[in-house]
Structure 1
């Protein structure tokens, strides 16, 4: 199962009946019900990001649409039947597509040949490889496609979105400080060349929109200004060889606000936005102009008077505004991966389509931000930080946002400077407790504040409510980690200041008329080790031992007595993550810095069992097994070899040989976790740096079919263990999974199996008859006989 894709990578489109909203979602088109805001189906077939979704207009029973993608194809769908009717392969990435002929009157649509205008990456004629930073706008015959038209309307250094007028007569793009507008010919053909005009400005344009009936184009710039060009093309765009405007336009006094003698009657400027205008759209009747930007406010301008109305506090920068055929509602797409269904008459949000929130934009502002997501393994939820000082709980199985917890009660304005950041979120094993850390950034080095908050899950509402707030829990030092006890209401926080604190939760005395339980957390003990920075902590599976990382060593504590039990080993770099591997005796540590290292420690021997010199991004352990999974970052020099920038490895703690591996992309900032599936099976969840995720069975050989590339050869990993005979006998179980499943795992195959074929335990070796034949075959050179 896949999910978490962006819903705002391209403009959505309403169905003709208005009861469906078609949204580009990664490589597919998600179809949502506008009544319930829930996904009802999807169109799957593209192999890369969908860049355009265009519904064919008509009666309510017409359910056709066109889509384009970076995979270089244009597809024609019947989205009611979820059927692809036609595929046109242009063989080069398509960044934007419009089909002007579909906007003609309904009686003319059936008589026309349909042509699409596409903005696509340019390819070299010899090897057809994409050029860097080069794009072209071309025509494509959708009705009778043989090859892409050789006519190029415009070549640009980078792709630009194509905008078509609602009447289908004009096509435009914005390029730096210029608007390029083409007139689409009435009788479209492969050889027809459109007339073009250019409108200029002193600032860089950011967006444009056409009036539905009049020759008016609106354009927003990066400073927040909106320019309204009226009567554009009156001189150069002719109909029946007659000038559209017989008034002479050579006199600049007759064209107020127009620069460089551009072909427009007038240009007026409106200014309300404080930053770049990202959204512009005229109402279907042309009376109003909608605008939006980083402020998260939708502004309704009355076109004749310039008067304004507002829909404030949307909470995120605005991207797209789309009208439906029903003039009573529309949709707004926001940068936080949300789409709101808007009621036009009252200018209010009726319902929302909630995707997973994108990573924090303030990641570089505060170094103590943890990009690791928190997983509720029992219910399949993931908790992620949001820019508006909250925590979003997202269902991995349903692929939709459930609710948000507001960590900091503060009004969020996207245009304001970042002063408060939620740096960390952690959930208990059963998902009933949550810990968060928020940091108020100092202003000019003064006034910083760190807050630790504990939250409890309400059994009735299934939502978290804050139970305890602790200011400066570790003086002025930043909190490095939070971990919860597996069986009781206890937590540990560690700090870079050189100490850790054990917190216990107690139920407060209730009055007779109270039914809600109240909990409060208090500090039970404080510990430190040689004033070293405490960067990580972990409880053993039964909760009897607390392990705390003190710089490069691991300290073991009796948390009840707050006594130091032992000090284990030393690593070359500071330890940033500790985790006990299931119910086993092994403790896993991850070191960061110049010499990163993954180490597995035996608690019975208090010594290192095995280790890898490898950079780890995330790690997770199975709750009831001795397995753990890691996300390892691949050096840039070897990304081509691994077909990605990261690799997921699954280990048995007793063996340094990975039992499974998958190449992944966007591994930086990713997270991983074992979670319980709906049928009680264990699934592995991978959440990448863009918060897209995939759920798969790590013990199933078919897992690679979920768009994850299998890697059999683990070249480039420095490993300190020995290969066993299982490297050439993957069908023989080398361990027990303690479940009713076959142990179908993947192993890296040794290039010289005959040297290690007898390295397994004697009681586990296969019969000598089988070993001997396999051994002899490995020494012999195989020949392929040619039969004529």
Structure 2
């Protein structure tokens, strides 16, 4: 064998402060050294065990989380005008802009009195808008506090102390300053935490006289409605007549007019998980843990006047598609459809009158919440909260995903839960785009995240697999991405994904090499290698660094099969003459019967080191020949080996409790260090001769910090700095200095994945700018008034409003009408409608004065030509040389829906239809819209149209001007319309 083994390789005592050499070719230097070395004359420097008097005092290390602690289980809540929505995140409420998807403000619940210690944390569990004041947000939290916010000015108005953890809130405009809360109490029975420990309370949001001026107040009126088990839902009916709570396998119903009577219990076959009330009718829907949805018709006057322990059965309708538990249900605003979601990652839209269903599949992760936006029916959107803390918007008209609001998708609570301590976690930095490569919410995918903009750019599905893989009660093991390593140039990435054998399939291990396409800004699969190390696991992957030609690019992999493999690029020409690159095995290396556990390259790529048990072997990458073998009696089993700094002179090796620093120029051990805790990670500085070590204390040592971070330099065996972190780390990599504002070039900036699967940024003296909207800021632009329509711009606000306060009394009713000029046209419609003449007599004059065409400067001298039969282009977006439309002397963008309404007005008043044509005739055919009956005996609901009245059909060529779409013909309530994908159903 070309390599020699020395048990004691320290030839001399090295200087205390050696000069820092430039990068050099270590392979040439090591070849000139003798194969056999003499025994060590002087002992190496050995540092004391960590924690002794010579060790530095530990101080907390600065860090910042790039992800929120966990996804919210509370549906998002929209403002009245639908411009913003609220999302609960741990102890804060984030306010998102619907238009941009960005966080504009954050309401933090840490506004309690410092003298009051939080009980069981302060995570927000429920939130509602104040029905008496829609500019106020009411939240409940685990610490037992009800907080009332003025979210326009980001002010915490009041805090009420309930005294027990709050999990659900309900309120109604019928009961001013009253809320209903579902709280829990500790169970008095041993090992029965979920039994008989729920209580529904009625609270008056007015403080007692003694706490009126205190920061934390108590309600002046608190009464108990009734006891339940651990509550999973609480809601009031649309009329405010009924209060419903669900817990366990029961639905608890109480009449708000007689709360002293308590709850009437109705039994469900399975455990109930979610609750939603119909927006107009007196019935509610629930989902259970077996995937069944029930519509309950038990709200009537036949309920007993007094509560009894007798459990009743209610008439219900069942809807079943979900294979697993239903996480959330919600009715659309018109009450015609019911939405449901769960672990299957599929949104189900149920048409209640027919029982038919439609699907929005593969939304990306299990659905935890479903909400409906506060927009008009044509623009209504369904907002899905996913288990990976992202939000999906689905348009109701097309049932297509319109947009996604997401940051980093990491959550261990998804269906395919990750192991608590995986052997390796994929984490890399793509220097070409300054992005992070992270594991995604599904184990078989990776995600690409940009820390500079805090945006999730894309998701890479490394191994296609089923997102829902639970068969009955046993989850199927998915293919997991274990490693992701990117080359120094950023052009190549290696991933290792594997799946253990089970009853169905055998062990699968794939090494996939991806190429970065700059044109499309995406990763493209270039080479797939099945079982690179047989059925054994891959223990390490490393790219050759430095500036090399394409033919010199190499990848080293080590496996539990005892083999080191070196891979290189080869090129081939296709039939079209284009050159195509792919990767293939170059050489296979072994060292005795040892198992390689880790490999590392020097900075210039002239040598690579492999750890074999108690040995470290240095190899020449050009021919694969071993150059030198290093061993040290302090280390019986090496777990990792790393080159320190850009010069590559020093090599650090670690074991469970030992560190050994080698000087490769003198081929000697410079110093060694023993820790009292287990060494979990070692990270070297990318530019300086500095490295850090992460220590994890014993799990039974609760007094010690969770993780200790030690910083070393080659000049001393004692750590130069000792810091602590309040979490464990699963993966750590250096990050570019461009992500931080540190001014010290020798400082560390790291990205880590914690044991709780959060992504954090670590650094020395870094100043990380706060995320946009992370502070409490006032928001403006919210208005409860509906948006102005084209008719209101033309005819005034009072033209289509019956509110007398909006009608001006300044216009004299008996004033004779004269020629109108300018703004006088607007004033005429401030007169009460019953005094004005018919619209047919005023139409032409009104339109001549309101629709004024602005000509371009080049056309000012031209004569204007009017023609009765000439069509006018009303397309505002493309005016060409004809100028722009000014409506009511004010410029405003007019949407297509308002044009449709204008066309309808022209058809009714400007164009005379055939009086002899039937009212419901459309192209010679009569269409009817039939009634659909509910399943299981549900009553029928008539269909009502959006526009009142009937519209006679006319020639389409004269119906609208170019660029204006003809509106859908009015359907009568008794005809059936075919060819429509979905039928909107309105209430009586």
TM-score, normalising length: structure 1: 0.74
Residues 316 and 555 of structure 1: CA distance in aligned 2, closer, same or farther (over 3 Å): same
Residues 518 and 277 of structure 1: CA distance in aligned 2, closer, same or farther (over 3 Å): same
SS in 2 for 1:638: coil
Distance in 2, Cα, partners of 1:158 & 1:589: 53
Aligned to 2:686: 623
- Within a 5 Å distance, the mapping from 1:149-228 to structure 2 comes to 151-153=223-225, 160-165=232-237, 168-184=240-256, 195-228=262-295
| Deviating more after overlay: 448-457 vs 550-559 | 550-559
Please state if 1:4 is matched with 2:67.
yes
Residues 279 and 160 of structure 1: CA distance in aligned 2, closer, same or farther (over 3 Å): closer
Is the 1:220–1:276 contact (alpha carbons within 8 Å) kept by the matching residues of 2? yes
- Within a 5 Å distance, the mapping from 1:399-478 to structure 2 comes to 399-415=454-470, 417-444=476-503, 447-478=506-537
SS in 2 for 1:356: coil
Aligned to 1:348: 400
In the TM superposition, what is the alpha-carbon distance from 1:321 to its structure 2 partner?
Answer: 0.7
Distance in 2, Cα, partners of 1:163 & 1:585: 69
| Deviating more after overlay: 485-494 vs 410-419 | 410-419
More strand per residue: 1
Cα-to-partner distance string for 1:434-458 (whole Å, 9 max, x where unaligned)? 1111224434386322110111222
Is the 2:71–2:411 contact (alpha carbons within 8 Å) kept by the matching residues of 1? no
In the TM superposition, what is the alpha-carbon distance from 1:393 to its structure 2 partner?
Answer: 1.1
Residues 15 and 448 of structure 1: CA distance in aligned 2, closer, same or farther (over 3 Å): same
SS in 2 for 1:677: helix
Gaps of at least 5 residues in structure 2 are 1-63, 111-120, 209-216, 743-747, 770-988
In the TM superposition, what is the alpha-carbon distance from 1:17 to its structure 2 partner?
Answer: 2.2
Distance in 1, Cα, partners of 2:233 & 2:327: 12
Please state if 1:67 is matched with 2:139.
yes
Is the 1:633–1:646 contact (alpha carbons within 8 Å) kept by the matching residues of 2? yes
Residues 572 and 385 of structure 1: CA distance in aligned 2, closer, same or farther (over 3 Å): farther
| The one of 443, 449, 454 aligned to 1:394 | 449
Report the count of equivalent residues: 655
Distance in 2, Cα, partners of 1:269 & 1:657: 67
Aligned to 1:755: none
Residues 551 and 313 of structure 1: CA distance in aligned 2, closer, same or farther (over 3 Å): same
Residues 637 and 415 of structure 1: CA distance in aligned 2, closer, same or farther (over 3 Å): closer
Is the 1:69–1:93 contact (alpha carbons within 8 Å) kept by the matching residues of 2? no
Residues 113 and 614 of structure 1: CA distance in aligned 2, closer, same or farther (over 3 Å): same
Residues 534 and 150 of structure 1: CA distance in aligned 2, closer, same or farther (over 3 Å): farther
In the TM superposition, what is the alpha-carbon distance from 1:575 to its structure 2 partner?
Answer: 4.3
SS in 2 for 1:262: coil
Is the 1:294–1:415 contact (alpha carbons within 8 Å) kept by the matching residues of 2? no
Please state if 1:262 is matched with 2:312.
yes
In the TM superposition, what is the alpha-carbon distance from 1:689 to its structure 2 partner?
Answer: 2.8
In the TM superposition, what is the alpha-carbon distance from 1:475 to its structure 2 partner?
Answer: 1.9
Residues 694 and 195 of structure 1: CA distance in aligned 2, closer, same or farther (over 3 Å): same
SS in 2 for 1:423: strand
SS in 1 for 2:701: helix
In the TM superposition, what is the alpha-carbon distance from 1:178 to its structure 2 partner?
Answer: 1.9
Residues 602 and 674 of structure 1: CA distance in aligned 2, closer, same or farther (over 3 Å): farther
Aligned to 1:664: 726
Please state if 1:567 is matched with 2:626.
no
Is the 1:383–1:394 contact (alpha carbons within 8 Å) kept by the matching residues of 2? yes
Aligned to 1:482: 541
Please state if 1:373 is matched with 2:422.
no
Aligned to 1:743: none
Is the 1:115–1:143 contact (alpha carbons within 8 Å) kept by the matching residues of 2? no
Cα-to-partner distance string for 1:269-326 (whole Å, 9 max, x where unaligned)? 2322111121212222222221222211111222233222222222322111111221
CA RMSD of aligned residues (A): 3.8
Distance in 2, Cα, partners of 1:153 & 1:602: 73
Aligned to 2:663: 603
Aligned to 2:737: 676
| The one of 142, 162, 169 aligned to 1:98 | 169
Aligned to 1:49: 123
Is the 2:740–2:749 contact (alpha carbons within 8 Å) kept by the matching residues of 1? no
| The one of 747, 754, 761 aligned to 1:695 | 761
Aligned to 2:343: 294
Distance in 2, Cα, partners of 1:179 & 1:421: 41
Residues 158 and 651 of structure 1: CA distance in aligned 2, closer, same or farther (over 3 Å): farther
Distance in 2, Cα, partners of 1:284 & 1:278: 20
SS in 2 for 1:637: coil
Residues 382 and 50 of structure 1: CA distance in aligned 2, closer, same or farther (over 3 Å): farther
Is the 1:16–1:58 contact (alpha carbons within 8 Å) kept by the matching residues of 2? no
Is the 1:620–1:674 contact (alpha carbons within 8 Å) kept by the matching residues of 2? no
Residues 627 and 151 of structure 1: CA distance in aligned 2, closer, same or farther (over 3 Å): farther
Residues 100 and 586 of structure 1: CA distance in aligned 2, closer, same or farther (over 3 Å): farther
Gaps of at least 5 residues in structure 1 are 125-130, 187-191, 244-249, 251-258, 704-788
Is the 2:343–2:366 contact (alpha carbons within 8 Å) kept by the matching residues of 1? yes
SS in 1 for 2:410: coil
Cα-to-partner distance string for 1:105-159 (whole Å, 9 max, x where unaligned)? xxx67xx2243515356599xxxxxx97766544544343632676455667756
Aligned to 2:834: none
Structure showing greater relative contact order (alpha-carbon pairs closer than 8 Å, 6 or more residues apart):
2
Cα-to-partner distance string for 1:656-706 (whole Å, 9 max, x where unaligned)? 3361413313x2646464442346635333432333233353236999xxx
| The one of 291, 294, 302 aligned to 1:235 | 302
| The one of 382, 385, 397 aligned to 1:330 | 382
Cα-to-partner distance string for 1:567-607 (whole Å, 9 max, x where unaligned)? 3336767544443333364444454xxxx325242233443
Distance in 1, Cα, partners of 2:255 & 2:660: 68
